[in-house]
Structure 1
Amino acid sequence: MEVTAQKTDNANVKIEGKIAQSDIEKKIDKIAKQAAKQMKIDGFRPGKAPVSVVKKRLGERLQQDAEAEALRDILNEASKELALDAEQIIGEPAVTKFDRGEEFIDVELKLSLRPEIEIGDITDIVPEVKTPRVTKKEVEERIREMAEAQAPFESIEEERGLQEGDLAVFDFEGFLDGEPFEGGKAENFELRIGSGQFIPGFEEQMIGMKKGEEKTIKVTFPEDYRNEKLAGKETEFKIKLHDIKTKKPAQIDDALAQRMLGKEDATLADLEKEVKEQIRSEKLSKLYNEELKPKLVEALVEKFEFDLPQSVVDQEIEMALRNKVQQMTEEELAELRDNEEKVKELRESLREDAEKSVKATFIVDALARKEGVEVGDQEMMQTIYYEAMSMGQDPQQTFEYYQKQNLLPAIKMAMIEDRLLTKLLNDKKEKKEEKTEAKEEA
């Protein structure tokens, strides 16, 4: 076996090798002998079948296993030659050439290496964080919303029709083609008119109804409704309105603060202080996510220069290409199918963004190691479960889907990136605040 290996740059390796066919035959014999000890073949005692019979039975599989073992030998030899350890190698090697000849198999492999990034002081490129200002008006509006949400509903005494914002208490029964359908009936149901809780047109047709009034309305279920028997179908609902309730005027006082903060001695001033900090935190989070984090990532990508593993870039391009294709019309897809050059142009147009994305990922990984930022598997799983539940999805099914699609590493890296960038921005913010405090004390 002949092997030559060279680094084309600091992140990519090209390996060339020659595998003698005689070596493949020796490996086939060795693998067949090992298999013979385990195989049960009719007419022979367990583990006693002749190697020739085993070879005939396994056929092409032996050839494939022998060639795969030879490729591993080449990879190991190249790793020794270049003094590479397992942590430096990313993914599986790409076999770019495998030409079988009578005496030799000519092989070419391409190997990707983890880039080496020297991380120094990056304080100068971390954006300045200005603590968001919260106005008295914003605090008052938020507390008023909280008070209104807490205010109870009470039956109205006046004789008037149902209005948007009212709470309707009513019975209803749905009919499809004159027959009642499953799940279409309820008694003393409470519905906030204007909430959009029911299918389009239902709540609007209830407006104006008075207590004790009965009415039949017609509504059409959406085409994408989850119950296929009702999707896109016109139905009738018989309704009887029992009561109309409206919210009591909101009371903004110490009692509200005590309910909201869960403290018996809380005051309205305590609630105002808490709400002010809450709004400031929300503004800061928005500032981080929409402005400062993208700005910091861009600055990091510009600051560091290093070679990128080509296989990782190619994977990123392919993923971007698949996403692009999914958004195309049938006409655009047809044009791509008939034009290989256009596919190549599209793929190359995605290269720059793919390289930036890969570069950012390696920078974040190196910085996270330096800053000691980690995300455990259990924490990642809990985050996936929580998000799935908040969206009404099955948490276990969601996790298994991500697992099958091999998306868990990307999810973990996204969580690490978010935590790292938050830490860098917070550190910059705290240092600025410390300097400000020191000046004020002086």
Structure 2
Amino acid sequence: MNVTFEKLDSKKVKLEVTVEAAKLSEAILKSYKKNVKNLNVQGFRKGKAPLAMIKRFYGVEVLFDDASDFILSDTYGKAVEETGIKPVDYPKVDIVQMEEGKDFIYTAEVEVYPEFDLPEYKGLEVEKPVYVVTDHDIDHELSHLVEKNGRIESKPEGAEVAKGDVTVINFNGKVDGVEFEGGKGENFELEIGSGMFIGNFEDQLIGMKAGEAKTIEVTFPEDYAAEEVKGKDATFDVEILDIKTKEFPALDDEFASEVSEFDTLDELKASIREGLESDANERSKTDLNNNLIKALADKTEVEIPQAMIESGIDRMIRDFEQRLNAQGIKMEMYLQMTGQDANTIRGMFQENAKTMVKNDLIIDALVEKEGITASEEELEAKADEIVKMYGDQKGELKEMLLKSNKKELEMEVTTAKLFALLTENAVVTEKEVVVEHNHAHHTHEESAE
């Protein structure tokens, strides 16, 4: 076998492979053995006609399709290995010569890992956000805990519906006097102010008492998903069955001992602060790494093969689908709800995939240039770290990581070592950032009248 190759551009090459005539003869014989059972020749039982008769009766060309497949599968991988190229996609194959008794010649055009020049990567000037944990952050976390441990209890008889209450209702909706699909519910729990129902539906329940009924009027939005009611006026007959309110525990030592392993509120606060500071440090480190790779990417010119971008989009869509599934939403349902299709979703991830692939290419090139490797001890330590995160006691996860996912582990270790090297050689400016909390939470404190 003889292989030559030429670069068509920075991300595509063309191989020309010449295979000896004898190999073609072998492939034709193999093709004959595979296909003879389907080829009938007069005077011979089915499947028993010799090769010479098949050639005379049908022509040798009848065996060429499979013969060429056999040769390609046997030689393309070896040609790739011999030339040292790194393909990122399937090749476009063109058969140049296929004639019995002559060499078999084919060309294969394929996209490969692109060649590019690395910029100066030592002395990068980057900003490192330093996230400051404040007392307000501690209070914010405590308010989550308080809300999580609140109890829902029915309001006393005669009490009125107020914002934040949970009402138990029966409702029956009509458009033009006719009931519509999804417009009816019994014993339905609706939190007032949650925005779960359209328009000012929830506001119209404020001031009602348990046992009362009322007809309320709303207008469906023009962009509402259900075609038959969008933009239309509707009436809802609503009956209040019960009004519930959340009762929140007092924020004291007793609360701390009930919701945590600590005896006092001060100890719980100290533990929360420690956790938040650890998270803040990790976030700060991640942002610094993102700024380092962005600084490099901005200085790097690289033509990215489309096959790599498409593969990146596939990965992102799989992750997106998993996140949707975790929320109980199927991709088909999401597409229906948002009026999108598979192509618009792919388009949505196009730019991010380009950025991700470019970053990965730069990281791979730097790891190779710096000769960064992962030792067995480092891989073990990384596996232990992941196992601890998932609380796997049996060690099955660790075994799987070290066997089936060894390549991913190596990437994690070598990438972390690369970022440590880049940070060590960078000019880093620290900038303090105080995290803003936009979501208001209930607290245990009653407002003074």
TM class by shorter-chain length?
Answer: 0.5 to 0.7
State the distance in 2 between where 1:113 and 1:170 align: 63
SS in 2 for 1:237: strand
The one-letter code of the counterpart of 1:273 is A
**Which whole-Å CA distance do the structure 2 matches of 1:194 and 1:58 have between them?**
80
The change in CA–CA distance for 1:183 and 1:55 in structure 2 (over 3 A counts) is: farther
> What's the CA shift for 1:272?
0.6
Asked whether 1:267 is paired with 2:274, we answer no
CA 193–418 in structure 1, closer or farther in 2 if over 3 Å, else same: farther
Task: Indicate the SS of the match to 1:90.
Answer: coil
Kindly tell me: are residues 65 and 362 of structure 1, through their superposed partners in 2, closer, same or farther at Cα, counting changes over 3 Å? farther
Report if aligned partners of 2:2, 2:18 keep a CA contact under 8 Å in 1.
yes
* Distance in structure 2 (CA, Å) of the matches to 1:239 and 1:271: 45
> Is 1:279 aligned to residue 271 of structure 2?
no
What is aligned with 1:256?
A: 255
Q: Name 1:370's counterpart in structure 2.
A: 374
Give 1:33's aligned residue.
32
SS of the aligned residue for 2:34 comes to helix
Q: More displaced, 159-168 or 271-280?
A: 159-168
Deviation of residue 273 (structure 1)? Answer: 1.6
Contact 2:39 2:47 in 1 (8 A): yes
Deviation per CA, 1:10-34, whole angstroms, max 9, x where unpaired?
99765334579x7797467424421
Aligned AA (1:215) = K
Q: Which amino acid is 1:66 matched to?
A: A
Unaligned runs of 5+ in 1: 324-348, 384-411, 430-442
Any stretches of 5+ residues in structure 2 without a counterpart? 317-350, 391-405, 424-449
1:322-361 equivalent positions in 2, closer than 5 A: 356-357=358-359, 359-360=361-362
Distance verdict in 2 for CA 1:126–1:157, change over 3 Å = same
Distance 1:169 1:77, change over 3 A: closer
- 2: CA distance between counterparts of 1:66 and 1:248? 78
TM-score by length of 2: 0.57
Matches within 5 A, 1:204-353: 204-219=203-218, 235-248=234-247, 250-261=249-260, 263=261, 266-289=263-286, 291-298=287-294, 313-316=305-308
* TM norm structure 1: 0.57
Aligned residue identity for 1:246: T
CA distance in 2 between partners of 1:164 and 1:138 (Å): 26
Structure 1 partner of 2:427: none
Partner AA of 1:254 in structure 2: D
TM-fit CA distance, 1:251: 0.8
Question: How does 1:34-433 map onto structure 2 within 5 Å?
Answer: 34-36=33-35, 38-39=37-38, 45=45, 47-51=47-51, 62-72=63-73, 75=76, 78=79, 82=83, 84=84, 89-91=86-88, 94-95=91-92, 98-99=95-96, 107-110=106-109, 132-157=131-156, 161-175=160-174, 178=177, 180=179, 184-219=183-218, 235-248=234-247, 250-261=249-260, 263=261, 266-289=263-286, 291-298=287-294, 313-316=305-308, 356-357=358-359, 359-360=361-362, 362-363=364-365, 370=374
Q: Give the distance between the partners of 2:298 and 2:56, measured in 1 at CA.
A: 58
Kept in 2: contact 1:5–1:81 (CA 8 A): no
| Matching residue's letter, 2:364 | F
- Residue 182 (structure 1) shift: 6.2
Which sits farther off after the overlay, 349-358 or 107-116?
A: 349-358
Q: Distance in 2 between matches of 1:18 and 1:202?
A: 76
CA RMSD of superposed structures (Å): 5.7
Q: Greater shift after overlay, 8-17 or 145-154?
A: 8-17
- AA partner of residue 205 (structure 2): M
Aligned residue pairs, count: 359
Q: 1:214 to 1:12 in 2, by over 3 A?
A: closer
8 Å contact from structure 1 (residues 218, 235) kept in 2: yes
User: Deviation at 1:124?
Assistant: 8.0
SS of 1:140's partner is helix
Taking the aligned partners of 1:316 and 1:253, their CA distance within structure 2 comes to: 56
Tell me: CA distance 1:179–1:126, structure 2 relative to 1, closer, same or farther (3 Å): same
Change (3 A) 1:268 1:13: same
Q: CA deviation at 1:165?
A: 1.3
SS in 1 for 2:269: helix
